């Protein structure tokens, strides 16, 4: 890579690192895994930097790479098992803002949604992409995005209801 391209890549990573890491966390629910996925996405971007002609498409390329890496990682056998010694305690109410509480509630419920549906929900509602942009990022049809969104929202509602955070039947 030429020094000019290397400097441009460095600026891009510095500007987008936190956003990509946050998206990765929302996709996988683990900060350590989110760091690994973020690094994987940027490594793949670095390898493709010279071939990307439209620099406006960099965010879409990174999002697509991130989603693919998340799905690939979730298929690994060691990711299916989660060992715990005890059931985690529910934190006692404290002075933490309601926004933080709501964010954690949604993140925990989002973790129980299947990975494909979770990817659609994160891209649509947390990243603010429309149906067409989400379909392009995931490499699927718009109809698939719509159906996965519907199923994902239903699964999210069920997860919230199971946790007792939302009454059933409330939309």
pLDDT (0 to 100) of residue 146: 94
* Tens digits of residue pLDDT in 25-46: 999 888 999 999 999 999 999 9
d(CA 118, CA 104): 15
pTM of the predicted protein model: 0.53
The whole-angstrom separation of Cα 147 and Cα 152 is 8
The set of residues, in sequence order, having a beta carbon less than 8 Å from that of 48 and lying 6+ positions away, is 61
Query: What is the end-to-end Cα distance of the chain in Å, rounded?
Result: 51
Instruction: Please report which helix (H) or strand (E) contains residue 156, including its range.
Output: helix 142-163
Residue 143 clears pLDDT 50, i.e. is over it: yes
Residue 164 burial by Cβ neighbours in a 10 Å radius (0-12, 13-18, 19+): exposed
Please answer whether residues 127 and 136 qualify as being in contact, where contact means their C-beta atoms are separated by less than 8 angstroms.
no
Cα separation, 77 vs 22, in Å, equals 24
Residue 97 sits at φ, ψ, to 5 deg, of -65, 150
Q: Residue 170: what pLDDT? A: 47
What pLDDT is stored for residue 148 in this prediction?
Answer: 94
For the stretch 82-139, pLDDT in tens is 666 766 665 555 555 666 677 788 888 888 899 899 999 999 988 889 999 999 989 9
**Mean per-residue pLDDT of the chain:** 83
Which domains, ranges and CATH numbers included, belong to the chain?
1-80 (1.10.1740), 95-171 (1.10.10.10)
């Amino acid at each position: 890579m030429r020094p000019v391209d290397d400097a441009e890549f460095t600026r891009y990573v510095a500007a987008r690192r936190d956003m990509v890491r946050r998206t990765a966390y929302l996709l996988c629910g683990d900060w350590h895994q989110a760091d690994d996925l973020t690094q994987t996405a940027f490594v793949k971007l670095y390898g493709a930097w010279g071939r990307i002609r439209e620099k406006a498409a960099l965010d879409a390329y990174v999002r697509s790479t991130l989603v693919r890496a998340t799905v690939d990682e979730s298929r690994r056998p060691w990711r299916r098992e989660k060992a715990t010694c005890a059931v985690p305690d529910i934190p006692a109410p404290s002075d933490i803002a309601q926004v933080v509480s709501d964010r954690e509630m949604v993140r925990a419920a989002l973790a129980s949604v299947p990975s494909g549906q979770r990817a659609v929900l994160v891209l649509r509602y947390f990243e603010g992409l429309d149906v067409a942009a989400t379909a392009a990022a995931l490499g699927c049809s718009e109809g698939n995005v719509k159906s996965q969104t519907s199923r994902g929202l239903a699964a999210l509602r069920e997860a919230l209801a199971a946790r007792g955070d939302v009454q059933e039947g409330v939309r």
